[in-house]
Structure 1
Amino acid sequence: MNTTGTPSPAPTATPLRTSITPGQPWLDTNGQLIQAHGGSILHVDGVFYWYGENKEHTTGGTDVWHWGVRCYRSSDLYNWEDCGVIIPPVLDDPDSPLHPAQKMDRPHIIFNPKTGQYVCWLKVMQPDDTQKSTVLVAEQLLGPYRIVRTNLQPLGMSAGDFDLVVDPSDGKAYFIFERVHSELIIADLTDDATNVTGYYSTHFPHPHPPFVREAPAYFRRGHLHYLFTSGTTGYFPNPSEVAVATTYHGPWRVLGDPHPDDDSRTSYRSQICSVFRHPHKKDLYIALADRWLGDRPVDARKAALMFETAFASDTPSEHFRRYEQEDPEVFAMPDTSRAGYVWLPVRFDGEMAYLDWHDEWRIEDYQEANSPEEGRPGGA
């Protein structure tokens, strides 16, 4: 049984995987498409846990936006066992942030060493286009989780895509988020990691989409802090950007597009959601990305121009209504229940971080760490 109370699908003879194949369908050990979108990986007691949005019922033809947060576990990052829905949808309360019709996105879970709890933040888009946060805590990674904050507007701001970071040296936590359609904010979290303290810094200001940076994905390599971000074009993919700093609060320097060989200017038709450092490899960082539109053809330049024109006007909603009427197939809600994943290793050249395309790649091809320190976030 999974945590929704319904029987899990009967196991099938799914062949064991021995590599990562970006963009190809990824099935769990039951032979079902993995549903862990916009999420990340945690490594706990020698086991990898991959969690994210459960989109199994989000086919584009209904008002179902999510079906909770789902989690999988693995010993090799190739083959994933379904652990079920660890934060289930709330079906009987339309006002709950966990109701399937609520636009809940991008769960991020951290372990807080100061409280011994797992803390999960969720972004929930509101009908008036503001975006608010819901915060939950649990004693175990797989739950049960309980809501401790809803309708939170950190620092009084509309908080969009985000990442959570815990400093490995002192346990201090940070909330990195898009101040919707404006700039990126890096805010200190309280000791329990369920709210902001009030101390924050601002970065990458832009006048409007598609230039505003969203989907921040943080990682640290040695003394350098990194951020991958995307532009703001809805489900349409766009060029990523990488920036570097020597402290969490910057100043941040933009280094450029980590996908320089992608002529389509779509980040390989994907959007990065997080970066995971392998704990047993010397210098292996894996960028996790979602291919939200699947195989749907994408004209990235046209999409960016539409967003730029709409948001540069005083009436962006009217522009988008016209676009939808003129090209309904392009603007139709995608079937994200079948959205794919693009996982790629990060290649470093000096300070610059690149993501080269691989049809197939293997964890075993990367050098083992010589010591535990080399596998930690601050290790070189």
Structure 2
Amino acid sequence: MSTTPQTVIRPGRPWLDTKGERIHAHGGSVIEVDGTFYWYGENKEFSTPGSGIWHWGVRCYSSTDLVNWEDRGVIIPPDEHDESSPLHPAQGLDRPHIIYNAATEKFVCWVKVMTKGSVQRSTVLTADSILGPYEIARTWLRPLDMSAGDFDLVVDPHDGKGYYYFERVHSEMICADLTSDYTDVTGYYSTHFPQPQPPFVREAPAHFSRNRLHYLLTSGTTGYYPNPSESAVSRSYHGPFEVLGDLHPTDQSRTSFHSQISSVFRHPGKEDLYIAIADRWLPGYLDHGAKAQDAFIEHFAPGRDSDLPMEEFAHVDTSLADYVWLPIRFEGDRPVIEWLDEWSPADFE
């Protein structure tokens, strides 16, 4: 069943594809290929409480307007039969990022895979087409011999050099140079935003460039529970970064509009349109009002184990997670995100 074409994006509302079904591209990003936009991310359609299914592969959608999305299927399917595979549905596969290597003519996808004990490692896949098929190039990679958490991949548009921003788990942010084929790191890296413990450690890095400046948007480490985003700016990929503070100064809840940014997409056909792509992992969080805020503060107080679930909101159903896409505006060189009930990329020049 097809749906009537939409003209606007409605942040925080269930987003349906052109068949009228929920979009499952969580922790995702958008890439433009030959004039078509592709939105990909974690497929959470079967990740209901008690299912034992963390993911059902990486799903992709295509669009020409960033509003109406056609389901192009699961481009990296789960490995249902090998429990030791990083692609097994019970493995904690998160946050796929895909970049294109012009030299090798390959699309390169990295995924983070969490296992017990907060061990986080990477798996790398390559394909000749954005839609696959993808072949595994590396599994269980520990970049720089570190436990690598949330991350972003960046390609310099001028020289094609690749960079890998990742959270050194519960410690600091790392920027590492990628090898020429983008499937590993070279060994050269820099460190940023050191913190003693969660929830202060920065995660979920999202990089973008504007006016020769490099921006990193990050969140605190509070699991699925939202917290304020923070922006930082530098004149180079490796910093040093100057922290600019909260991205959402008008958000009284101090939770980035109850969402976590996974990436920033610069529209190639617009003069200055940058879109923050975020997940609202816990839509029901909004129903608890001030109670949610009080419980949040208590749970993440110093000395508490913030990796444990909050009893007040232990019912996490990621199959019902929504998206919060909002344009970024700039006050000079400072990025700011404000709430819009609805908006359209067509409104930008």
Q: Same fold per TM (> 0.5)?
A: yes
| Distance in 1 of aligned mates of 2:294 and 2:105 | 46
Equivalent in the alignment of 1:330? 313
Task: Give 1:59 deviation, angstroms.
Answer: 1.1
| Distance in 1 of aligned mates of 2:98 and 2:141 | 17
Equivalent in the alignment of 2:284? 295
Q: 1:52 aligns with which of 38, 41, 47?
A: 41
Q: 2:94 aligns with which of 105, 113, 120?
A: 105
Whether 1:339 and 2:321 are equivalent positions in the alignment is: yes
Once the two structures are superposed, the pairs formed by residues 1-380 of structure 1 within 5 Å of their partners are 12-297=1-286, 299-300=292-293, 302-310=295-303, 316=305, 320=308, 327=311, 329-332=312-315, 334-367=316-349
Letter in 2 for 1:38: G
Q: Which of the pair is proportionally richer in strand?
A: 2
1:334-375: CA deviation from partner (whole Å, max 9, x where unpaired): 1111100000000000111000100011112111xxxxxxxx
- SS of 1:185's equivalent in the other structure is strand
1:160-205: CA deviation from partner (whole Å, max 9, x where unpaired): 0000000000110000000000000000000010111000000000
Equivalent in the alignment of 1:9? none
Task: Give 1:302 deviation, angstroms.
Answer: 3.2
| Distance in 2 of aligned mates of 1:300 and 1:209 | 17
Task: Give 1:119 deviation, angstroms.
Answer: 0.4
| Distance in 1 of aligned mates of 2:342 and 2:98 | 28
Task: Give 1:296 deviation, angstroms.
Answer: 2.7
Letter in 2 for 1:303: F
| Distance in 2 of aligned mates of 1:302 and 1:183 | 26
Instruction: Determine if contact 1:236/1:300 at 8 Å carries over to the other structure.
Output: no
| Distance in 1 of aligned mates of 2:202 and 2:301 | 13
- SS of 2:319's equivalent in the other structure is helix
Instruction: Determine if contact 1:123/1:132 at 8 Å carries over to the other structure.
Output: yes
Letter in 2 for 1:250: G
Task: Give 1:303 deviation, angstroms.
Answer: 2.2
Which structure: larger Rg?
1
Equivalent in the alignment of 1:8? none
TM-score (norm 2): 0.96
| Distance in 2 of aligned mates of 1:281 and 1:233 | 34
Task: Give 1:300 deviation, angstroms.
Answer: 4.1
Task: Give 1:249 deviation, angstroms.
Answer: 0.3
| Distance in 2 of aligned mates of 1:217 and 1:52 | 15
Task: Give 1:304 deviation, angstroms.
Answer: 4.5
Equivalent in the alignment of 1:6? none
1:231-251: CA deviation from partner (whole Å, max 9, x where unpaired): 000000000000000000000
| Distance in 2 of aligned mates of 1:331 and 1:31 | 29
The number of residue pairs the alignment matches comes to 345
Moved beyond 6 Å, runs of 4+: none
| Distance in 1 of aligned mates of 2:114 and 2:3 | 37
Equivalent in the alignment of 1:371? none
TM-score (norm 1): 0.88
| Distance in 2 of aligned mates of 1:300 and 1:271 | 16
| Distance in 2 of aligned mates of 1:45 and 1:310 | 51
Structure 1 residues 234 and 148 mapped into 2: Cα distance closer, same or farther (>3 Å)? same
- SS of 2:118's equivalent in the other structure is coil
Structure 1 residue runs without a partner (length 5+): 1-11, 368-380
